[in-house]
Every structure is written in structure tokens, then in C-alpha cells.
Amino acid sequence: MGAPMAKRLLAAGFPVTVWNRDLRKAEILAAFGGAIAQSPAEAVNGADIVFTMLSDGAAVTDVLFAQGVADALKQGAVVVDTSSIAPPIAREHASKLADRGVVHIDAPVSGGVVGADAGTLAIMAGGDADIVAELAEVFAPLGRVTHVGGSGAGQICKLANQQIVAITIGAVAEAMMLVEAGGASREKFREAIRGGFAESRILDLHGQRMVDRNFKPGGLSRLQLKDLNAVAAMAEVFKLELPLTADIRQAFETFVAEGNGELDHSALLLHLEKINHRKGATDDRD
């Protein structure tokens, strides 16, 4: 998602320097006006605002503190981490950067690559409300930003978002199987309930993926599991019982363990089909 976000910022007239572990991915942005850095420390040199979009907390920690970014940042710079990571890690990053005179905003996003391309991301920002307000012009090309609380609050809201996404994907997949078993068309079922109480972005995008059996990511199943594992860890901290989340987490855990981690998370349908095939349910595609 980082590439389309960078394109949106460039199109809005912001000077953007980009870095990626795979330099080829960064070089693509040169055609859109991006300056290419050879290292993350070079990318942030002199920057007022730094965006990170990385796979997990370990990757963000590595880039910020092992690869020299924190030391290269000027005092007063703002780091906006749009990655999805555990809230305690985000708060730790904020504390360490504050010691260096750098502001940290955890601002994970939802909307996928489609939303990043269109500039319609939902941005959940945790940290200083005044700083978030000052960055409104920068956030505007990316989507709609909402300040949700102090440091780490953006990440806890993103985890809640991922709960809803995962559980809804599971619900849509199970519904697809039910209607087909009952003799109805999955495609027509999806069309029929659009605009009703079951309407959702998941039904729109991922329901269509299930109809088309197009599971090219999108959102990787292994990253969906990573977020659900983080939800489980926070639920333990808060002493919460989240049975629906626990069930869908187990389903994704099995699906990923069977070698499907690089498929889109809507491909959970394949896991449910496999379970039912084992039980002898009819599948007209076999």
C-alpha cells in the first residue's frame, strides 16, 4: 500500500523521497516524481514528516532503530507510522522517539490497495491531537483521518477493524456456501442482498472475489493472522473473552499453516470449502 500512498502525496504536490527494501519497488516511483534513497536513513535526512508502511512491528523497529532512521531524523520531525502493529510496540516507539525530540503518530489505515489508489483510506490516528490536526493537509490526499486517542490508540482501533474484517469475511464465505448448497447462485445472491442490512465493503469487494475465485492479494492471509494474533494478545491483557474472534483466528491459523499465507484473506472460502468437502458436502465444482 505504500506505493499508491506515495503516488497520492506526489500528485498533491508534496516532495517525497522513497525507500524500499526492494529498490526496484522504490524506483517505480521515480516516474511519478519521487526521489529515490539508497537507505532509510538517507530517505529521512532533512525530512519534516516521515511515513512508514511496513509489514509488522519487528520491521518498523528494525527500520527506525537498527537501520539508523531515529538517529538521522531532525528534532521536531514527525514520524507517521501507517503500519499495522501491536499497540505496546507503537507506544514504545513513541517514547523512544520523544527522547530524541521526534514526534510519533500511530496512524494505521484501512481500505486496502483500492482505497490507497483512490485516496479514500480510513486513517486511525493515535497521539497528540494538535499534531494530527496540523497534518490535515498531508493526510487529505490519502483519505479521511480521525484522531482516536493517545499513543497506541490508532493501533488498537486498527486491530478492532481487523476483527470486523476477518469475522465478516468468514460470514460472507459461509453464506456463499449455504446458498450454493441450497441451489442458488452465489453471484445472484450477492447482487440480491446489496443495499440490505448485510451490505458491506467486504460483501462488495471480497464477496466478488469469492464469486470470481480471484484470490490474488489484496490483503495477505498471513498478515490477517498476524493482526488476529495481536488482537488475542490484547484481549488477554484486558481479560476479554472474544469467542467470534477466537474462532476466525483458528480458521486463519489452520489456513496459513497449510501453505496459504500469500493468498488474499478472502481465500478463507477455500478453507471452509475444504472442511465441508471432507464431510461429504456436495460441491458441483469437483
Per residue, the 3-state secondary structure of the chain, as one string, reads CHHHHHHHHHHCCCCCEECCCCHHHHHHHHHHCCEECCCHHHHHCCCCEEEECCCCHHHHHHHHHHCCHHHHCCCCCEEEECCCCCHHHHHHHHHHHHCCCCEEEECCEECHHHHHHHCCEEEEEECCHHHHHHCHHHHCCCEEEEEEECCCHHHHHHHHHHHHHHHHHHHHHHHHHHHHHCCCCHHHHHHHHCCCCCCCHHHHHHHHHHHHCCCCCCCEHHHHHHHHHHHHHHHHHHCCCCHHHHHHHHHHHHHHHHHHCCCEHHHHHHHHHHHHHHCCCCCCCC
Q: What is the mean pLDDT of the chain?
A: 95
Q: What is the mean pLDDT of residues 60-78?
A: 96
Find out whether 221 and 267 touch, Cβ atoms under 8 Å: yes
Nearest to 114 by CA among 143, 77, 153: 143
Inform me whether the pLDDT recorded for 233 exceeds 50.
yes
Inform me whether the pLDDT recorded for 286 exceeds 50.
no
Distance of CA 151 to the CA centre of its chain: 18
The Cα 145–Cα 139 span in angstroms is 7
The pTM of the full predicted model, rounded to 2 decimals, is 0.89
Q: What is the mean pLDDT of residues 183-201?
A: 96
Q: Which residue has the cell 507503537?
A: 90
Q: Which residue has the cell 453464506?
A: 175
Inform me whether the pLDDT recorded for 240 exceeds 60.
yes
Inform me whether the pLDDT recorded for 229 exceeds 60.
yes
Inform me whether the pLDDT recorded for 283 exceeds 60.
no
pLDDT at 280: 66
Return the minimum-mean-pLDDT range out of 36-40, 72-76, 80-84, 276-280.
Answer: 276-280
Angle in degrees, CA 19, 2, 72, rounded to 5: 35
Q: Calculate Rg over the CA atoms of the chain.
A: 20
Q: Which tens digit of pLDDT belongs to each residue from 79-136?
A: 999 999 999 999 999 999 999 999 999 999 999 888 999 999 999 999 999 999 999 9
pLDDT at 258: 97
Give the model's confidence band at 281: pLDDT under 50 very low, under 70 low, under 90 confident, else very high.
low
Q: Which residues are catalytic?
A: 158
- Looking at the chain, how many residues does it have? 286
Q: What is the mean pLDDT of residues 208-216?
A: 97
